[in-house]
Amino acid sequence: MTRPGSFDYVVVGGGSAGCVLAARLSEDPDTHVLLLEAGSGTPLDLVAVPPAWPALMGTEADWADRTVPQDGADGLVVPWPRGRGLGGSSTINAMCFLRGHVSSYDAWVKQGATGWAYDDLLPYFKRSENVTGVPGRDPRYRGMDGPLRVAPAANRHPLAEAFLAAAVEAGHPVTEDFTSGLDTAFGWGDLSIADGRRWDAATAYLRGPVMDRPNLHVVTDTLVHRLTFEGERCTGVVHGADGDLIEVRAEREVVLTAGAVGSAQLLMLSGIGPASHLRELGITTRADLPGVGANLQDHPMCGVVYEATGPVPPAANGHGEVQGLIRTDDSLDGPDVQLQMVDVPLREDTLPGPGFDRGYTIMVALMTPCSRGSIRLSEATPGSAPIIDPRYYADSRDVDAVVHGVRAARRIGAATALDAWRGAEAQPGLAALSDEELRAYVRRNLRSYGHYTGTCRIGAADDVDAVVRTDLRVRGVAGLRVADASVMPSVVSANTNATVYAIAERAADLLRGH
């Protein structure tokens, strides 16, 4: 092992949050920042092509994880795509740039995350984005000069236009700005696409003049093996590839931005996590934090799949341009299901249905799941695939909510605005009418939305199950913070990428003492 270098901050994980922190912390020329990323620094050519994102699944840009068999979903093993490379999941996602409804952030405060309500995060949402010139965007709620260029679809797909008209016909309200976080309605969601190309975190925050800063060091194709310590203080990391390990020192702090899977993995490999699990793998416990790897959440997806009356035109964007939020129960504080037009027939891989350009889907995604899962180590070797158990549909309320969403999707799908497009209902098929039949369908047509959260959640100082305090410091360990999707106490009611940017923007201020 070579002797350590020294930096003020070592940021572990070059995904959305890591790119933000590396850019913001290095704005001070006297602050030296090291950003470490396990994947490549050179994106695949397809990354820039918005509608090509499905082809990125399983490539070198994807960790290509899989869950354990899901008891709540008839034993399905669910693919779990996760971005690998500079920009992380922002380089392989479907580019929907949405905020959750205000209620899903205020729910964090009720769980002990004081200071993390929607209004607290609003300045950081605005700091990350640039919606200059987009009609209907209110500068009180939207950012006009951030690095990330976002806007609704420039070349609107005719199926998306028909879907929005069908939603209105089915009695749903329409909002001009679906990304504001204030509405339960349908509308054209913002996309992280600019000039016809994906606008990911590395493009927005790092590439260009920021990468040339002499105080910013970006190292890719290197895996962080463990954290290093002096007493109770985290002092740096050990990283490397092909057995060539390097130790680097953080004079101020180490910040984990490796996501809900990677950050929890690294903490446990370094002896921070549930002591019983660490003992099973022969890892010495440094801090017994049972919440590390627990509280795992995702948005499970199902959908109503239709055959089209003719070939579906190719997409110019990310296959999903219009979304809607609904409540499946009027007693809920906020919306719990997202409906979205997907201009391809998306379904669980083994289910029959039309070809790629011969169908479409009204997707149903559960936004506020009650089920909770876990990330665990399969062995004590860095780089080993984790044990991923989201426990989809372990709580029957989740299945009931998705069934309600499927019925709502069918009502929209039957509207006259979609008559010109609608052929036969391929999935679940019109024979599936009863609640029991639809519950069975929901369990077998399960996909992950790729919105993994919660495994290092924020909590109050006296909350023994919390992993980080409200300032994102890891409990019981000095010099170490987590600042990514893993800190969310509960998953928000939208695609999570916009919230990750806001968390990282706020983390940068916390680290700088602002």
- Report how far apart, in Å, the C-alpha atoms of 317 and of each of 51, 348, 468 are: 5, 22, 37
Using DSSP's 3-state secondary structure scheme, residue 119 falls into helix
Q: What gap in Å lies between CA 66 and CA 79, rounded to an integer? A: 4
The amino acid at 185: A
Q: How many secondary structure helices (H) and strands (E) does the chain include?
A: 10, 24
Catalytic-role residue among 101, 217, 451, 514: 451
Q: CA 229, 262, 22 angle in degrees (round to 5)?
A: 75
d(Cα 436, Cα 185) in Å, to the nearest integer? Answer: 28
Rounded to whole angstroms, how far apart are CA atoms 454 and 107? 13
Largest distance between two CA atoms of the chain: 69
Torsion, CA 376, CA 379, CA 385, CA 391, rounded to 10: -30
Three-class SS of residue 110? helix
Residue among 23, 198, 190 nearest 99 (CA): 190
Give the residue from 199, 384, 209, 355 showing the smallest Cα distance to 281: 384
Q: Distance (Å, rounded) from C-alpha 336 to C-alpha 398?
A: 10
Rg (CA), the chain: 22
Alpha carbon distance 294, 355 (integer Å): 38
Query: Using CA atoms, how far apart are residues 83 and 50, in angstroms rounded to an integer?
Result: 15
361 membership: H or E segment, kind and range: strand 359-366
Other Cβ atoms within 10 Å of 12 Cβ, number: 25
Q: Are 188 and 341 contacting, i.e. CB atoms less than 8 angstroms apart?
A: no
Locate all alpha helices (DSSP H) within 281-434, ordered by sequence.
396-413
Instruction: For residue 514, indicate whether it is catalytic.
Output: no
Helix (H, G, I), strand (E, B) or coil at 187: strand
Q: Cis peptide before 428, with omega less than 30 degrees from 0?
A: yes
Which pair of tokens denotes residue 183? 């509405």
Q: Rounded to an integer, what distance in angstroms lies between the CA atom of residue 272 and that of residue 475?
A: 10
Nearest Cα neighbor of 378 from 450, 298, 280 is: 280
Q: Residues 385, 386, 392, CA angle at the centre, nearest 5°?
A: 125
Please check whether residue 291 is in contact with residue 457, taking contact to mean a CB–CB distance below 8 angstroms.
Answer: yes
Enclosing H/E stretch for 201: helix 201-201
Residues with a known catalytic role: 451
